[in-house]
């Protein structure tokens, strides 16, 4: 078992592979004990579940009325998991036991130090070969309505089954996944802590829910921008404020698609981004939606932690933010 990014630990603003979490807590009987505390930004309710708490929840919603001001409400969030389910999902996320040959984990393509992406224009799967697209960031995925670059899925539980069971990604099967976990005494004990009312054997829906619980805890709403938005104007420099004003202006119009506070309007867009040299046109959302008007359409990504998630666009066409902005500036 391989563990990382402990949810019981103090939140890391910029977690790196060198910042290893403390080992999982041992019970007096020598077993493992899952975390009983919610991650930072969540409150443990009387019902024993973690609920997100953010100043943004006190603000009014845009309700499709444009860009709005900085104090704008968040969309509905996916929360309500127990601390144990979140913690169990974390262990699964970082453990290569989820792959067919035990060599890669979810974190192979969604690395904390790279904004939960992998820094590649095309991610590399279990076969050691590049797959079709790069891994999108998982920050604030609990708010997202469209998953995958082409927006073909809408729930974390169904989305994760794509990479888990794709032959060129994690290369596993539902049968092998449950067999491997049920053969592991440690995981049997951990699942009993996270799902005390369930059967002794680990079931697929429990695996999916646990990973979804961890992914839903990856909340990024405490940057210097957020402090500025909540009223602390000293949080940003003069140049940063100037850039934000251009970003929100009717000249640049960046915020129309990358709408705060998530910095995405959660829609599909056809931008005409050129594919990298030698690569065929990616039809994008046209395929899953069977709609010719969506040829070349892709999900508008969030810009949260964007400095860490290069390269940019669905194909990784642009290596730097400057190149990306230049593409938009030239129309």
CA 216 → CA 80, 100, 200, 213, 304, distances in Å? 10, 25, 26, 5, 15
Q: Which of the four pLDDT bands, split at 50, 70 and 90, describes residue 272? A: confident
DSSP assignment of 190-255:
HHHHH-TTS-SS--HHHHHHHHHHHHHT-----SHHHHHHTT-GGGS-HHHHHHHHHHHSTTT-GG
The percentage of residues in the chain with a pLDDT greater than 70, rounded to a whole number, is: 89
CA 63 → CA 66, 67, 201, distances in Å? 8, 10, 45
Contact (Cβ atoms closer than 8 angstroms) between residue 38 and residue 83: yes
- Output the pLDDT for position 70: 85
Domain ranges of the chain: 25-216, 224-329
Same fold, 25-216 and 224-329: yes
- Output the pLDDT for position 60: 80
d(CA 329, CA 324): 9
pLDDT tens sequence across 164-175: 999 999 999 999
Number of H helices, E strands in the chain: 10, 6
Nearest to 215 by CA among 139, 117, 104: 139
Residue 312 has pLDDT above 90, yes or no: yes
Residue 135 has pLDDT above 80, yes or no: yes
**Residue 17: partners with Cβ closer than 8 Å, 6 or more residues away:** 111, 112, 113
- When pLDDT is averaged across residues 1-29 and rounded to a whole number, the result is 44
CA–CA–CA angle 163, 166, 168 (5° rounding): 100
Q: Which of the four pLDDT bands, split at 50, 70 and 90, describes residue 125? A: very high
- Whole-number CA gyration radius for the chain: 20
CATH of domain 25-216: 1.10.760.10
- Output the pLDDT for position 13: 44
pLDDT tens sequence across 215-239: 999 999 999 999 999 999 999 999 9
Query: Pairing state of beta strands 42-44 and 32-33?
Result: unpaired
Q: What average pLDDT does the chain have?
A: 90
Residue 313 has pLDDT above 80, yes or no: yes
Q: Which of the four pLDDT bands, split at 50, 70 and 90, describes residue 8? A: low
- Output the pLDDT for position 26: 40
More confident residue, 178 or 278: 178
d(CA 87, CA 68): 36
Q: At the top level of CATH, which class does the domain 224-329 belong to?
A: mainly alpha
Contact (Cβ atoms closer than 8 angstroms) between residue 7 and residue 35: yes
- Output the pLDDT for position 67: 62
3-state DSSP assignment of residue 311:
coil
pLDDT tens sequence across 61-117: 766 555 667 888 899 999 999 999 999 999 999 999 999 999 999 999 999 999 999
Q: Which of the four pLDDT bands, split at 50, 70 and 90, describes residue 38? A: very high
């Amino acid at each position: 078992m391989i563990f990382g990014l402990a949810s019981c630990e103090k939140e890391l603003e910029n977690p790196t592979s060198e910042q290893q979490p403390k080992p999982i807590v041992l019970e007096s009987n020598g077993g493992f004990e899952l975390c009983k505390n919610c991650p930072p930004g969540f409150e443990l309710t009387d019902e024993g579940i973690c609920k997100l708490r953010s100043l943004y929840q006190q603000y009014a919603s845009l309700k499709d009325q444009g860009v709005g001001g900085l104090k704008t409400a968040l969309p509905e969030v996916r929360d309500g998991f127990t601390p144990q389910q979140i913690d169990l999902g974390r262990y699964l996320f970082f453990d290569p036991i989820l792959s067919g040959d035990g060599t890669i984990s979810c974190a192979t393509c969604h690395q904390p130090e790279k904004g939960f992406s992998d820094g590649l224009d095309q991610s590399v799967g279990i076969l050691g070969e590049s797959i079709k697209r790069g891994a999108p960031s998982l920050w604030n995925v609990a708010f997202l309505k469209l998953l995958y670059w082409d927006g073909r899925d809408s729930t974390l539980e169904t989305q994760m089954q794509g990479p888990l069971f794709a032959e060129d990604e994690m290369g596993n099967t539902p049968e092998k996944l449950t067999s491997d976990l049920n053969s592991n005494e440690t995981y049997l004990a951990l699942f009993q802590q996270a799902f005390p009312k369930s059967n002794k054997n680990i079931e697929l829906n429990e695996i999916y829910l646990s990973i979804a619980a961890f992914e839903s805890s990856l909340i990024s709403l405490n940057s210097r921008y957020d402090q500025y938005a909540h009223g602390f104007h000293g949080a940003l420099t003069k140049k940063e404020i100037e850039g934000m004003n251009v970003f929100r202006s009717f000249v640049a119009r960046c915020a129309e698609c990358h709408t705060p506070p998530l910095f995405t309007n959660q829609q599909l867009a056809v931008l005409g981004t050129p594919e990298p040299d030698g690569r065929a046109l990616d039809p994008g959302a046209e395929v899953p939606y069977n709609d010719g008007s969506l040829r070349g359409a892709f999900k508008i990504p969030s810009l949260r932690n964007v400095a860490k998630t290069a390269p940019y666009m669905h194909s990784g066409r642009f290596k730097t933010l400057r190149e990306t902005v230049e593409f938009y500036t030239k129309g």
